[in-house]
Structure 1
Amino acid sequence: MVTQSLLALSMLSLFGRQETLDFLSNSSADDLKLVGIVALWSGLAVNCVAPYLQVSGQQAVGPARAQILYASQPLWAAVMSFFLLGEACGIEGFSGGALFLVAMFLAATAENPDPNCPAKECEV
């Protein structure tokens, strides 16, 4: 993350120096405060804390269950868009979401394969 920050600052200084100086000199204190808050949120919450929590969670639940939850990201984005942004969703969208939840439930509750199985194919 330090490397990402250094690269971003380097690119900003090389390619966006004049625009940045213009923004800083022509902006109000409220604009600068807003940009600072957004930069802190993006840097700390989105690019630092979230990946750390994701890796910690994946280690705790194991790769198979972590992948099930990770694959559900488009579904939760659609649900939040429906409720928070008022986006429309037809019968196909609701049906697909319901089927995905059923599949996710079945995959999450399936028995784990026996790691000591002597057969060539041990999947349930």
Structure 2
Amino acid sequence: MHRLERNTVRVASVTVLTLLCATFAAGCGADTDPPPESVSGPTVQPADITSQAERLIGPKMPVGSTLECPDPLSAQVDATTTCSWAMPDGTSIGMTVTVTEITDGRASLNFANDDQVTPSPSS
């Protein structure tokens, strides 16, 4: 179940309110909350990560799967964050998001699902 996908999203500066637009997204949103202290400088916001992953990988996941990407991603090459797909049967699968390139204020992202499914807590 290992999948790699690549996409590009704009990065936002934490010091200046910047509109965030995913390159293939229809809409934009503004980020007014500062990221956690562990992330500084330009970031890719969780909503943008989730939007892109759902668009690219979501159709390949079981119907009813949901994705949670709780943390902003530092817009630096090789920076990573972890997201989690919740499956309808209660299992989950992790997904690593990695910045592969920054060009003209856009971060290229790779999405890679883990090889192993995590059993549901009630299993």
TM range (shorter): under 0.3
TM-score (norm 1): 0.24
Higher strand content, 1 or 2: 2
Structure that is richer in helix per residue: 1
- Ranked by relative contact order (alpha carbons within 8 Å, sequence separation 6 or more), the top structure is 2
TM-score (norm 2): 0.24
Q: Which has the greater radius of gyration?
A: 1
